[in-house]
Amino acid sequence: MLALGKLLDLTLGGREPGEKTQSTSVGLRLRWLGEGALEVTPPKVDDGTLHLLLSAGIHGNETAPIELLDQLLQDIARGEIVPQARILFLFGSPMAMRAGQRYLEQDLNRLFNGRHESSSGFEALRAAELEQYARTFFSVAGRNRLHYDLHTAIRGSKIEQFALYPYKDGRQHSRRELARLSQAGMQAVLLQSKTSITFSAFTYEQLEAEAFTLELGKARPFGQNEEVNLDRLHKRLVQIIEGKEPAVDDSFDGLQLFSVAREIIKHSDHFHLHLPDDIENFSELSKGYLLAEDLAETRWIVEEEGARIIFPNPKVRNGLRAGILIVPDSGQRLS
């Protein structure tokens, strides 16, 4: 196996490889770009080549996706997967990965789309660096671009594996990409309706990639992910990488679609979220329910039919999202 296939070991050890570029006998090239960043280039790259960005570890304790990318890269380095796609592997937050924590100072996945420019610290610097890796990787116009940013959630979920589809004004969400997600094991997709500051939002809005945040279960330590079944996603990613993906039509039967009704923003230290600490993502909320309160008699009361909550977190910094209220979506606005 090519030594650069052990990117995860290098990243967790805080080491640089002795050789930063390695090639196989068939002309596949692996190139170390920096900490947690490795580019895979097949012998032939033309206008039809897929440019695939796979990222994980934006939150350092979300280990199942990190292990999935490690498996894919090692199989490529062994010659067991033969890529036809050009691939950029990114482990987002190496310091948090080494510490086994979600983040150390501030949430890295709230620092993209220029947000890092108004912040400071190593996580802001890392967000800028990740944006530059992605910008360089997707630098040739008119190419086929796909980005999956792989995560696991803080809490359990009534729908375990789901995706968030970013938003850009004037651009429609794709039925074909939803069908691909369904076949990769996603059970639901949240169709976002406003710009965001996450990594996938950056590549979708600024770099014209089809981009998704994939939530793949509950966060657990390295080696403790037996309950997170990523077999369907792994199979689909191998097919995408090797250019052997079965024909994808526009059918995504069984995939639940949701849209954002409202974001719950924490304005002060007096913010109170009226939900149990162990509430699961996609839990239903009844109309009239007092969801949250803050200063100046600010109150969030559920008004929507079929409302559910995802990502409730009252411990976020002031000014950030403390939860998303979502509702079922018919998919009528899809392209």
**pLDDT 10s digits, 168-192:** 999 999 999 999 999 999 999 999 9
Where is average pLDDT lowest: 13-17, 222-226, 263-267, 304-308? 222-226
Task: Break the chain into its structural domains and give their ranges.
Answer: 3-242, 261-328
Question: Is 215 known to be catalytic?
Answer: yes
Query: To the nearest whole number, what is the mean pLDDT of the chain?
Result: 93
So what's the pLDDT on residue 184?
95
- What pTM does this model have? 0.94
So what's the pLDDT on residue 226?
66
Residue with tokens 């310091």: 95
Was 62 annotated as part of a binding site?
yes
String of DSSP letters for 36-67: TEEEEE-S---TT-EEEEEEE-SSTT-HHHHH
Round to whole Å and give the CA distance between 311 and 181.
21
pLDDT tens for 105-145 read 999 999 999 899 988 899 999 999 999 999 999 998 778 99
So what's the pLDDT on residue 138?
97
So what's the pLDDT on residue 332?
76
Round to whole Å and give the CA distance between 234 and 81.
12
The active-site residue out of 205, 215, 242, 297 is 215
Round to whole Å and give the CA distance between 325 and 307.
6
Q: Say which residues have a Cβ less than 8 Å from residue 324's Cβ, sequence separation at least 6.
A: 190, 260, 262, 263, 264, 309, 310, 311
pLDDT tens for 10-44 read 999 999 999 999 998 889 999 999 999 999 999 99
Mean pLDDT on 220-230? 74
Whether 310 has a pLDDT exceeding 90, the answer reads yes
Whether 209 has a pLDDT exceeding 80, the answer reads yes
- The residue among 248 and 326 whose pLDDT is bigger is 326
Whether 47 has a pLDDT exceeding 80, the answer reads yes
Round to whole Å and give the CA distance between 33 and 332.
42
So what's the pLDDT on residue 88?
98
Was 267 annotated as part of a binding site?
no
Was 59 annotated as part of a binding site?
yes
- Judge whether 98 and 12 are in contact, CB under 8 Å: yes
Q: Does 2.40.50.630 match the CATH number of domain 261-328?
A: yes
Band (204; pLDDT cuts 50, 70, 90): very high
- The residue among 226 and 98 whose pLDDT is bigger is 98
Q: For CA atoms 173, 132, 127, 238, give the dihedral sign.
A: positive
Cα 236 to the center of its chain, rounded Å: 16
CATH number of the structural domain 3-242: 3.40.630.10
Band (57; pLDDT cuts 50, 70, 90): very high
Count, in order, helices (H) and strands (E) of the chain: 7, 16
So what's the pLDDT on residue 65?
95
Round to whole Å and give the CA distance between 10 and 44.
28
So what's the pLDDT on residue 130?
98
So what's the pLDDT on residue 282?
95
- Judge whether 60 and 100 are in contact, CB under 8 Å: yes
Round to whole Å and give the CA distance between 178 and 176.
5
Helix (H) or strand (E) holding 257: strand 256-265
Q: What is the 3-state secondary structure (H, E, C) of 142-187?
A: CCEEEEEEEEEECCCECCCEEEEECCCCCCCCCHHHHHHHHHCCCC
Percent of the chain having pLDDT more than 70? Answer: 98
3-state secondary structure of 28: coil
Mean pLDDT on 142-166? 92
Q: Say which residues have a Cβ less than 8 Å from residue 237's Cβ, sequence separation at least 6.
A: 54, 68, 72, 148, 184
Where is average pLDDT lowest: 16-20, 78-82, 288-292, 293-297? 293-297
Whether 104 has a pLDDT exceeding 80, the answer reads yes
So what's the pLDDT on residue 251?
77
The neighbouring-strand residues paired with 55 are 90, 149
So what's the pLDDT on residue 143?
80
Mean pLDDT on 306-326? 93
